[in-house]
Amino acid sequence: MRATVPAVLALLLAATVAAAGDDALLPPSGFAGGWTRDGQAKVFPASSLYNHIDGGAEIFLELGFEAATVQRYARAADEIVVECYRMRDAEAAQAIYLDKCGAETPSPGFGERHTAGRYQLLFVRDRYFVIVNNPPGTPAVAPVLVEFARAIAGRLAPGGNVRTFDVLPRAGIVPGSLRLIRGSVGLQEIATLGDGDILRLGGTLTAAAARYTGGATGDRTLVVVVYPSEAEAAAAFRHLADHLDPEIRLLTATERRLVFASYDGTFGVAARTGTRLELTLRLKAPPAPE
C-alpha cells in the first residue's frame, strides 16, 4: 500500500525532530546569572554516538538510545556542559542512570532521582538521562548544576514508575545494586554466562537484577526475566542450557532447572516457572537439591 501524503509528511516531521535533538530542553543564554550558550548544541544520533562516547556507547545502544544533545555554556572563565540523552523509553533511561550513577549522593532541593557531586550531576526523568557537567570541578560552579538540572527537568514529561523491578523480592537487596538488562553488554557487567544474547532479550525484553545479602542462601545475585509467553521462556531456557560458557561446569540439568559451578568458584541456578526465568548467581555453596 502506498503511504498517503499526510502520512509521509508525518514521517518526515518525526525524522526532522529526531535529527534536531532536544534543544528546547536546554536553558537559554542568560540563565542563572549570565550563563551563555557557547556555540550551537551538538546532536548525536545512534549512528554517531561513538563520536561522542568513546568506548561506552554499547550499553546506551543496547538499552535503546535515540539521540544525545550536548550544549556548552560559559560565564567568564567558567564552563558547564549539558548532555541530554533521549532513550527509547523510561526503562531504558532508568537503566542507563543506574549503570552510571554509582553511590548516589542527592542534593537537597532537587526532587528527581539523581546524584550530585562537584564535577557533575546526573538525573533521570521519563525517558531522559541527563548529565550536567562542571568539567574543571570549580567549587563555586557546583551549586549551579542543580539550577540547570531543575530547569531541564521542568521541561520534561513526568513519566511513570518503572515497574520492572516488581519481579524482584525486596528483602535483602544490597543498596545501589539494582540493574535493568536488555542484552549481552548489560548482563556481562553482572556475570559471564556465555556468548551473545544468551537470555534472548533482543534489546526489547528487560531483565531485572540485584545483589542480595542474608537469607537462607546467603549472598547472591538474582536476575529475573518475564517473557511474553511460556514458549518463549522455554526457548530462552534451552538456549541458555545449550550455550553456557565452556568454563561453567553443569552439575545437574532438567527441563526446568540447571545447577552449575562457575569458573570463579561460585555456584548458580537457572530455573523456569511458566513465563519466568530466574537466575541465582554467585552462591558460595552448591544449592540444595530439589
Q: What is the pLDDT of residue 13?
A: 37
The residue ranking higher by pLDDT, 15 or 76, is 76
All cell numbers assigned to 175: 543498596
pLDDT above 60: residue 92: yes
Q: What is the CATH number of the domain that holds 86?
A: 3.40.1000
User: Would you say residue 30 lies in a domain?
Assistant: yes
Instruction: Decide: 270 and 277 in contact? Cβ < 8 Å.
Output: yes
User: Would you say residue 187 lies in a domain?
Assistant: yes
Bridge partners, residue 35, by sequence: 31
DSSP 90-107: HHHHHHHHHHH--S--PP
User: Would you say residue 290 lies in a domain?
Assistant: no
Average pLDDT over residues 95-111: 94
Q: Which amino acid is residue 147, in one-letter code?
A: E
Q: What is the pLDDT of residue 16?
A: 40
149 and 174 in one domain? no
Distance of CA 53 to the CA centre of its chain: 15
Q: What is the pLDDT of residue 33?
A: 84
170 and 143 in one domain? no
147 and 24 in one domain? yes
pLDDT above 80: residue 4: no
Q: What is the pLDDT of residue 64?
A: 96
Q: Count CB atoms within 10 A of the CB of residue 126.
A: 18
Q: What is the pLDDT of residue 2?
A: 42
The pair phi, psi for residue 178, each rounded to 5°, is -65, 135
Q: Please, where are the H alpha helices in 21-172?
A: 31-34, 57-63, 90-100, 142-153
Spatial separation of the C-alpha atoms in residues 161 and 112, rounded to whole Å = 12
Spatial separation of the C-alpha atoms in residues 50 and 52, rounded to whole Å = 5
pLDDT class for 148, splitting at 50, 70, 90? very high
User: Where is the domain boundary, 87, 118, 153?
Assistant: 153
Q: What is the pLDDT of residue 232?
A: 97
134 and 172 in one domain? no
Nearest alpha carbon to residue 167 among 179, 151, 175:
179
Spatial separation of the C-alpha atoms in residues 46 and 227, rounded to whole Å = 27
pLDDT digits (tens, 9 = 90+) for 160-169: 788 999 999 9
pLDDT class for 217, splitting at 50, 70, 90? confident
Strands 36-37 and 120-125: unpaired
pLDDT digits (tens, 9 = 90+) for 234-262: 999 999 999 999 999 999 999 999 999 99
Ranges assigned E (strand) in 24-181:
36-37, 42-45, 65-75, 78-87, 113-116, 120-125, 128-133, 179-181
Q: What is the pLDDT of residue 118?
A: 94
pLDDT digits (tens, 9 = 90+) for 195-207: 999 999 999 999 9
Average pLDDT over residues 186-191: 94
104 and 175 in one domain? no
Overall domain count for the chain: 2
DSSP symbol at 284: S
User: Where is the domain boundary, 101, 121, 153?
Assistant: 153
Question: Which residues, 6+ apart, have CB-to-CB distance to 9 below 8 Å?
Answer: none
180 and 72 in one domain? no
Spatial separation of the C-alpha atoms in residues 208 and 223, rounded to whole Å = 6
pLDDT digits (tens, 9 = 90+) for 54-67: 888 999 999 999 99
**Structural domain that includes position 201:** 164-283
User: Would you say residue 46 lies in a domain?
Assistant: yes
Spatial separation of the C-alpha atoms in residues 281 and 264, rounded to whole Å = 11
All cell numbers assigned to 127: 525517558
Q: What is the pLDDT of residue 138?
A: 94
243 and 170 in one domain? yes
Instruction: Decide: 209 and 224 in contact? Cβ < 8 Å.
Output: yes
pLDDT above 90: residue 121: yes
173 and 146 in one domain? no
Q: What is the pLDDT of residue 152?
A: 97
All cell numbers assigned to 111: 526532587
User: Where is the domain boundary, 128, 153, 178?
Assistant: 153
213 and 136 in one domain? no
User: Would you say residue 10 lies in a domain?
Assistant: no
Mean pLDDT of the chain: 91
pLDDT digits (tens, 9 = 90+) for 36-50: 999 999 999 999 999
217 and 142 in one domain? no
pLDDT class for 20, splitting at 50, 70, 90? low
141 and 36 in one domain? yes
User: Would you say residue 5 lies in a domain?
Assistant: no
Q: State the distance between the two ends of the chain, measured CA to CA, in whole angstroms.
A: 56
The size of the chain, in residues, is 290
User: Would you say residue 56 lies in a domain?
Assistant: yes
**pTM, to two decimals:** 0.88
249 and 149 in one domain? no
User: Would you say residue 29 lies in a domain?
Assistant: yes
